[in-house]
Amino acid sequence: MAEKSALTAEAQRLPLAAALVERNALRRRLVADPTALAGLFIVAMVVVVTVAAPLLAPHDPNAQDVLNQFRPPSAHHLLGTDEFGRDELSRIIAGTRISVLTSLAVGAAILAIGVLVGTVSGLAGGLLDGTIMRVVDVLLAFPSLLLALAVAGTLGPGLFHLALAMTAVWWVDYARLVRGLVLGVKEQQYVESARALGMSGRRLALRHILPNIAPPVIVLATLQTARLLLALAALSFLGLGVGPPTAEWGAMLNDGKNFLDTAPQLMLYPGLAITITALGFNLLGEGLRDVLDPGLR
């Protein structure tokens, strides 16, 4: 008991580490927070749909039925059909996979690059740090979406090119955040003692620094997923992502815009799917922030 309270006291001095020390308390507070709970629920649903997409889709998302174009919602086609008579619901479900998995893949790539660059920059200091931060400043001095648009546009259409362009542009947020956090933790006594004991830079980073800066990085990663989802939708709406007939939310909106007068519902559903998914990640991120760092609320 005494040991635990000492641990808690130590953790309270380092508010960011507190949550990691008390995992159970963290879980309890997360479930008690309505924002986080709502976000968790939506994200869990999205994950289920992403994983089980082929099982959940009532029809083949690419099966055309030219006699049944632009059908309104019915028992057979819950969300109606599109301009080729394809089942809208099945296409949205199939699109979940591409939209969410691409956003998560880009998210993982920028997380890895950003954490690596930020940690190296923060630990090394000096000329290396200065150079890296100038690059980060320049990339931050430019609107990310436009830069991604220019890079993806120059590389040519295709989902891989789009993901590449987004990765090249979006890692800087993490790099700056992580560097700042590393600089803060670097001066802590436990890091200094580990150094004094002769621990190597890599072990120091993995054992002591990264676990202690994890909470704000997790919050950013969650919120960032929502942003990536929106950016991916916007860029593929402009025709830079998947080609036909693949179902992807942004591309579906790009198709649907031609039938605004006759079939506005084709614009409604994919957009709602994007909004609800992004909202889920935003709610979860906000909730995590409230729980991990109550001072920011």
Partner 1 sequence: MPYVARRVAYLIPTWLAITLLAFFIAQLAPGDPASVYFERLNGRPPGRIELARTRHQLGLDQPVVERYLRWLGHAVQGNLGRSYSSGLPVTHELLSRFPATLELATTATLLAVLLGVPLGVIAASRRNSLIDHVTRGASLIAASAPGFWVAYMLIILFSVKLRLLPSFGTGGVNLLILPALALGLGEAGLLARLARSSMLEVLREEYVTTARAKGLPEWRVTWQHALRNALIAVVTQVGLVFGFLLAYSAIVEVIFVWPGIGALAVNAINQRDYPMIEGFVVFAGTVFILVNLAVDLIYMALDPRISLGSQTVPAVG
| 226 near partner 1, rule: CB under 8 A | yes
Alpha-carbon distance of 18 to 7, in angstroms, equals 9
| 73 near partner 1, rule: CB under 8 A | no
| 211 near partner 1, rule: CB under 8 A | no
Among the listed residues 176, 242, 290, 291, the single contact to partner 1 using CB under 8 A: 176
| 128 near partner 1, rule: CB under 8 A | no
Total residues at the site for partner 1 (CB under 8 A)? Answer: 45
DSSP 209: I
* Cβ neighbours around 74 below 10 Å, total: 11
Non-local CB neighbours of 264 within 8 Å, separated by 6+ positions = none
Residue whose C-alpha is closest to residue 221's, from 102, 110, 96, 101? 110
Which residues 76-115 are close enough to bind partner 1 by CB under 8 A?
A: none
Among the listed residues 233, 247, 284, 292, the single contact to partner 1 using CB under 8 A: 233
| 271 near partner 1, rule: CB under 8 A | yes
Among the listed residues 2, 75, 141, 197, the single contact to partner 1 using CB under 8 A: 141
The least CB distance from residue 173 to partner 1, in Å, is 8
The least CB distance from residue 261 to partner 1, in Å, is 6
**DSSP bridge pairs for 87:** 81
| Radius of gyration in angstroms for the set of CA atoms belonging to the chain, rounded to a whole number | 23
CB 174 within 8 A of CB 111: yes
Which listed range, 54-62, 84-92, 104-112, 275-283, lies at the site for partner 1 (CB under 8 A)? 275-283
| 213 near partner 1, rule: CB under 8 A | no
| 125 near partner 1, rule: CB under 8 A | no
| 196 near partner 1, rule: CB under 8 A | no
SS3 81: strand
| Closer residue to partner 1, CB minimum distance, 6 or 150 | 150
Residue 232 one-letter amino acid: L
* Cβ neighbours around 148 below 10 Å, total: 24
Which listed range, 72-80, 102-110, 137-145, 196-204, lies at the site for partner 1 (CB under 8 A)? 137-145
Residue whose C-alpha is closest to residue 58's, from 20, 88, 13, 34? 88
Phi, psi at residue 87, to the nearest 5°?
-70, 120
SS3 234: helix
Termini Cα distance of the chain: 31
How far is CA 41 from each of CA 13, 37, 218, 277, 284, rounded to the nearest angstrom? 32, 6, 18, 11, 9
| Closer residue to partner 1, CB minimum distance, 27 or 257 | 257
The least CB distance from residue 282 to partner 1, in Å, is 5
Which listed range, 76-84, 100-108, 154-162, 186-194, lies at the site for partner 1 (CB under 8 A)? 154-162
Among the listed residues 83, 194, 268, 293, the single contact to partner 1 using CB under 8 A: 268
CB 254 within 8 A of CB 236: yes
| 187 near partner 1, rule: CB under 8 A | no
Among the listed residues 43, 191, 283, 288, the single contact to partner 1 using CB under 8 A: 283
Residue whose C-alpha is closest to residue 294's, from 42, 37, 33? 33
Interface residues with partner 1 (CB under 8 A) are: 134-135, 137-138, 140-143, 145-147, 149-151, 153-156, 176, 226, 230, 233-234, 237-240, 253, 257, 260-261, 264, 267-268, 270-271, 274-276, 278-279, 282-283, 286, 297
